[in-house]
Amino acid sequence: MSMQDTASSGVALWRLVADGIERGIADGRFAAGDKLPGEMEIAETYRVNRHTVRRALAALAERGLVRAERGSGTYVEAQKLAYPLRSRTRFSEIVGAEGREPHGRLIEATDDVATRELARELGLKVGAPLVRIEAIRLADRTPICVSTTWLSADLFPNAGAVFAATRSMTKLLEHFGVRDYRRGATRITAGIVDATDAARLDLALGRPILVVDATDHDLTGKPLVTKHSRFAAERVEFLVES
């Protein structure tokens, strides 16, 4: 399984190893605190050079998923993010409650116009000007989800610039005078990650994602923003209230 003797797939070997280990962590073969097999042993199971394994482990350590201890071994650090789905849902609060550090990063903010579906969700007319924000959210250094968010360009002028500065949807809404908001009906489906999102989420091609569509309303019920989010299924666990 070297790059030299097989047709290249366009995915680096170290990435395949890293994804394999992460999958082992995600599905519980390696629990939090467990010691991973030695670098030599991993290299043998994947039939790869030890340095390639080290590259993979370094990538996982960079994201805080594992921690290497010289002379002893490499240990699993993290676990799935428990993500409760309530009407009052704030990414930063959920991540902070787990003792992890939430981050947000703007990928792109562009102008858009309302399709029929978007217009219905936001209570606007078809063709109304919108701001479309592509953003990624992380817990510590692990990407959790990418979201596409649409807001009315009339109600929230320069929303993209404000989000880039605050890195938080909650703070963006505060900036426009929205003190509180609630999440409306949430639709959850699943799919396979595409290449673009895979790169953004640092996720292997072909891995499952949870797709969440939701619209946030203010306390009077007026739609504020509608979102289309893709979560790395192996890094998160949705909790629905009973």
Partner DNA sequence: CGAAGTTGTCTATGATAATAGACAACTTCA
Partner DNA sequence: TGAAGTTGTCTATTATCATAGACAACTTCG
Catalog residues that contact DNA under the rule CB under 7 A. 1-4, 8, 10, 12-15, 36, 38-41, 47-49, 51-52, 54-55, 57, 68-74
Residues 100-159 within binding reach of a copy of itself (CB under 8 A):
none
> Six-digit token pair at 17?
């190893």
d(CA 206, CA 177) in angstroms, rounded, equals: 41
Cβ atoms of 18 and 60 within 8 Å: the answer is yes
Of 52 and 215, which CB lies nearer to DNA in the complex structure?
A: 52
Residues 13-72 within binding reach of a copy of itself (CB under 8 A):
14-16, 18-20, 23, 59
Quick one: what does residue 209 bind among DNA, a copy of itself, none, with the CB cut-off 5 to 8 Å set by partner type? none
> Six-digit token pair at 148?
């596409």
Cβ atoms of 60 and 14 within 8 Å: the answer is no
> Six-digit token pair at 42?
């991993």
Of 48 and 131, which CB lies nearer to DNA in the complex structure?
A: 48
> Six-digit token pair at 18?
């890293």
Quick one: what does residue 189 bind among DNA, a copy of itself, none, with the CB cut-off 5 to 8 Å set by partner type? none
* Cα atoms found within 13 Å of the Cα of residue 179, Cβ hemisphere only: 2
Minimum distance, C-beta of residue 35 to DNA, in the bound complex (Å) = 8
Residues 181-210 within binding reach of a copy of itself (CB under 8 A):
194-196, 198-199, 202, 205
